[in-house]
């Protein structure tokens, strides 16, 4: 029998054995089985009942079980209600991850330097990042007299300051929003004057503010997902 339990920070959930029809495989090897079986911790509705799953479509992140048709969810929150925008977003992220120039994980900030321009009100802060691949990554913040400050990011040797910041929900946004520290490390701020250092800090905070919080960080709420038994 399914076991009901309270799991923070979510409301009461209940473990359910689910049989579903496989429709499409977004990523992985082989093909999707016509019928799949798995266990899932399902959030209960306002009546403390398991919602009727019939005719519902979901997106699953799972690994194959030991028996054909059995799968194991990779985490308790690996079953998501399907929608066309969600599927399109996941397909885009999967394509970006498999691309040769896929944005790498950011491991830190190597250096930040503000340089004042020739005209009053003009200047530029360059922030160079370190990555797991050792490949170039940088953020450029530009100031133009009478215009709002603007910034762009690059994960290649070519930095185009005319590019717009990465859109929220993209892989580029995730790499920045979920890896950059909240504050610019003082050891990385190489401004020649205190004024230059203060401007670099202000520009970094502008980038952090525009990126917003890392809403993709997973919340661990306990419970292993076991392979469906016979």
pLDDT digits (tens, 9 = 90+) for 119-156: 888 999 999 999 999 999 999 999 998 899 999 999 98
How much is the pLDDT for 225? Answer: 32
d(CA 195, CA 114): 9
d(C-alpha 135, C-alpha 102), whole Å: 11
Question: Residue 222's pLDDT is what?
Answer: 35
pTM (2 decimals)? 0.72
- pLDDT tens figures, 174-228: 999 999 999 999 999 999 999 999 999 999 999 999 999 987 545 443 333 333 3
What local confidence, expressed as pLDDT, does residue 216 receive? Answer: 59
Assess contact for 138 and 125: CB atoms under 8 A.
Answer: no
Averaged pLDDT, 8-12:
53
Task: Give the C-alpha separation, 140 to 96, whole Å.
Answer: 22
Give CA–CA dist 222/9, Å, rounded: 10
Exposure on the CB side of residue 6, measured as CA atoms within 13 A: 2
Q: What are 22-79's pLDDT values in tens digits?
A: 888 888 877 777 889 999 988 888 888 888 877 789 999 999 888 888 999 998 889 9
Contact 39, 17 (CB under 8 A): yes
The pLDDT value recorded for residue 157 is: 82
Q: Rounded to an integer, what distance in angstroms lies between the CA atom of residue 136 and that of residue 158?
A: 9
């Amino acid at each position: 029998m399914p076991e009901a339990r309270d799991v923070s920070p979510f409301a009461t959930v209940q473990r359910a054995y689910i049989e579903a029809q496989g429709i499409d495989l977004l990523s992985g090897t082989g093909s999707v089985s016509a019928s799949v079986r798995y266990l899932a911790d399902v959030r209960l509705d306002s009546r403390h009942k398991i919602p009727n799953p019939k005719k519902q479509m979901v997106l699953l992140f799972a690994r194959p079980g030991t028996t054909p048709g059995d799968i194991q969810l990779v985490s308790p929150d690996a079953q998501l209600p399907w929608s066309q925008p969600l599927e399109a977003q996941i397909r885009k992220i999967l394509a970006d991850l498999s691309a040769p120039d896929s944005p790498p994980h950011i491991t830190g900030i190597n250096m930040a330097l503000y340089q004042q321009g020739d005209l009053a009100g003009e200047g530029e802060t360059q922030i160079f990042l370190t990555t797991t691949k050792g490949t170039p990554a940088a953020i450029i913040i530009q100031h133009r007299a009478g215009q709002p400050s603007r910034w762009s990011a690059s994960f290649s040797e070519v930095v185009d300051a005319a590019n717009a910041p990465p859109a929220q929900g993209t892989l580029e946004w995730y790499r920045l929003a979920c890896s950059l520290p909240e504050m610019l490390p003082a050891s990385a701020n190489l401004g020649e004057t205190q004024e230059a250092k203060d401007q670099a800090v202000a520009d970094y905070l502008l980038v952090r503010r525009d990126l917003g919080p890392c809403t993709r960080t997973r919340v661990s709420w306990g419970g292993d997902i076991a392979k469906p038994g016979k």
